[in-house]
């Protein structure tokens, strides 16, 4: 028997009556459920149970649980759902009982939300295991043991529950269109569709959250030197990339990760990075470097500096994403009454090689007259112009202070905060430093 060409199939379907088309949808719901439940059972028998019972053990109990958490519960719920559909089919009641059956089982289908919520952990565990050629060969042997044509790999089976909920939505939507509103099952189909859409929306949010956790797990495996846990429920990945950081003596490449609550940078690349600094997003101020195509300034409560992106588009993207993250975090902190408006933002240090004389007394720097930086304004000054030490928030450690900042702080008795940095009252004008040796413009 040959397949019907698509155009002929469309014509054939267009000739069906409303009731005939409706019966076809009902039959499709039953047939796809049979195939779906059979696939779930195949995964349990040929992957889950074999991995649990194989000797010697290939995976730990925790690894198996991380991969298959809630999978067997999804199978049990759908097996019971299928049993009811088949019972109604035998009794000749299926066509007028679809809505009622879905409505009755939707509360149990919420197990999908739990299963999908674990998918980030599941896929991350699989990714780590697949680094081993031996485990990959074991998975392949298990796949080849599956009889028939349904020889999917493990990932193929695990993605099925994620794909099933949208399929239910499509089938119920199509069924409702083909069901007269006077039909006995119409109100129950309508309610079932509404509840299924809510469940699917929740599942979609769980998918997004799971993907977010998976991304954080991957990043956590690539960085070192982070104190605490990178993977947190509230943390979202936003952007990453290489930027050229202007240090005191030279310009160095640094890899940056931006999250919704922190900015991390360090030495390395996208595969491996040693952290140099972690900064709370709420304590970041971004300023454009006037006259520079690719440069912008990052002011933070720990360290401030100029960075250069590879091109103008990349620069603007970084500025926009950081500003959006800062604004969102500040709004969140204000809502919780946790915003600290007195946070001290470190000044931008003037690079050593851009200054040949003290920026206060104009003495030329030499072997005997060394460069120093004021910790409150960032100016490059001589020792005579920075004899004083004043406490710097938040730890109030006494830091080198130039004579101008001493006068200013003694008169105002106020810390330098983010608003002052934004208005440039306590910072230098944007420093135009172009790393021409790196061919950045």
pLDDT digits (tens, 9 = 90+) for 85-118: 999 999 999 999 999 999 999 999 989 988 988 8
Burial of 3 (0-12, 13-18, 19+ CB in 10 A): exposed
What's the pTM?
Answer: 0.61
Judged against a pLDDT cut of 50, whether residue 241 lies above it is answered with yes
pLDDT band at 340 (very low <50, low <70, confident <90, very high): low
pLDDT digits (tens, 9 = 90+) for 28-83: 999 999 999 999 999 999 999 999 998 889 999 999 999 999 999 999 999 999 99
- Whether 311 contacts 305, CB under 8 Å: no
As a whole number of angstroms, the distance between CA 371 and CA 386 comes to 10
Could you identify the residue written with the tokens 């939505």? 169
Residues 6+ apart with CB under 8 A from 12: 4
Structure confidence at residue 342 (pLDDT): 60
Q: Does a cis peptide bond (omega within 30 degrees of 0) precede residue 110?
A: no
Mean pLDDT on 378-390: 90
As a whole number of angstroms, the distance between CA 353 and CA 436 comes to 14
- Whether 169 contacts 193, CB under 8 Å: yes
Mean pLDDT on 404-419: 62
Could you identify the residue written with the tokens 């409505």? 103
The encoded tokens of residue 127 equal 């990714």
Judged against a pLDDT cut of 80, whether residue 13 lies above it is answered with no
As a whole number of angstroms, the distance between CA 261 and CA 329 comes to 7
| H or E element, residue 246 | strand 237-246
Percent of the residues in the chain that have a pLDDT greater than 70, as a whole number? 87
Q: What is the DSSP-derived secondary structure letter of residue 348?
A: B
Of 213, 204, 123, 132, which Cα lies nearest the Cα of 159? 123
Mean pLDDT on 252-267: 95
**CA 80 to centroid of chain Cα atoms:** 36
**What are the chain's domains?**
6-220 (1.20.900.10), 237-335 (2.30.29.30), 352-415 (3.30.40.10)
């Amino acid at each position: 028997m040959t397949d019907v060409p698509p155009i002929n199939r469309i014509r054939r379907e267009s000739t069906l009556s409303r009731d005939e088309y409706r019966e076809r949808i009902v039959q499709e719901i039953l047939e796809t459920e049979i195939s779906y439940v059979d696939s779930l059972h195949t995964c349990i028998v040929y992957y889950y149970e074999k991995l649990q019972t194989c000797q010697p053990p290939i995976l730990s109990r925790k690894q198996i649980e991380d991969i298959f958490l809630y999978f067997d519960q999804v199978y049990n719920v759908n097996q019971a759902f299928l049993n009811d559909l088949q019972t109604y089919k035998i009794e000749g009641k299926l066509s007028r009982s679809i809505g009622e059956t879905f409505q009755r089982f939707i509360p149990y289908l919420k197990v999908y939300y739990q299963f999908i919520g674990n998918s980030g952990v599941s896929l991350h565990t699989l990714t780590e295991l697949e680094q081993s050629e031996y485990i990959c060969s074991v998975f392949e042997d298990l796949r080849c043991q599956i009889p028939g044509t349904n020889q999917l790999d493990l990932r193929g089976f695990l993605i099925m529950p994620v794909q099933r909920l949208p399929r239910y939505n499509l089938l119920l939507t199509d069924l409702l269109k083909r069901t007269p509103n006077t039909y006995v099952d119409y109100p129950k189909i309508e309610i079932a569709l509404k509840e299924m859409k809510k469940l699917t929306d929740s599942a979609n949010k769980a998918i997004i959250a799971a993907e977010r956790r998976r991304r954080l797990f991957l990043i956590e495996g690539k960085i070192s030197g982070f104190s605490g846990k990178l993977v947190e429920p509230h943390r979202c990945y936003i952007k990453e990339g290489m930027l050229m950081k202007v240090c005191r003596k030279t310009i160095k490449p640094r890899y940056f990760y931006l999250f919704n609550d922190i900015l991390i940078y360090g030495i390395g690349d996208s595969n491996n990075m040693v952290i140099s600094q972690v900064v709370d997003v709420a304590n970041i101020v971004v300023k454009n470097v006037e006259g520079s195509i690719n440069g912008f300034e990052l002011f933070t409560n720990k360290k401030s500096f100029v960075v250069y992106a590879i091109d103008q588009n990349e620069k603007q993207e970084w500025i926009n994403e950081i500003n959006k993250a800062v604004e969102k975090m500040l709004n969140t902190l204000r809502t919780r009454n946790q915003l600290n408006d007195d946070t001290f933002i470190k000044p931008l240090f003037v690079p050593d090689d851009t200054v040949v004389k003290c920026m206060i007394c104009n003495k030329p720097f030499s072997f005997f007259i060394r460069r120093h930086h004021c910790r409150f304004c960032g100016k490059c000054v001589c020792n005579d112009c920075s004899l004083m030490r004043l406490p710097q928030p938040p730890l109030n450690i006494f830091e080198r202070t130039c004579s101008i900042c001493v006068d200013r702080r003694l008169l105002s008795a106020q810390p330098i905060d983010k608003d002052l940095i934004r208005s440039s009252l306590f910072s230098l004008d944007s420093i135009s430093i172009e790393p021409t040796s790196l061919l950045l413009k």
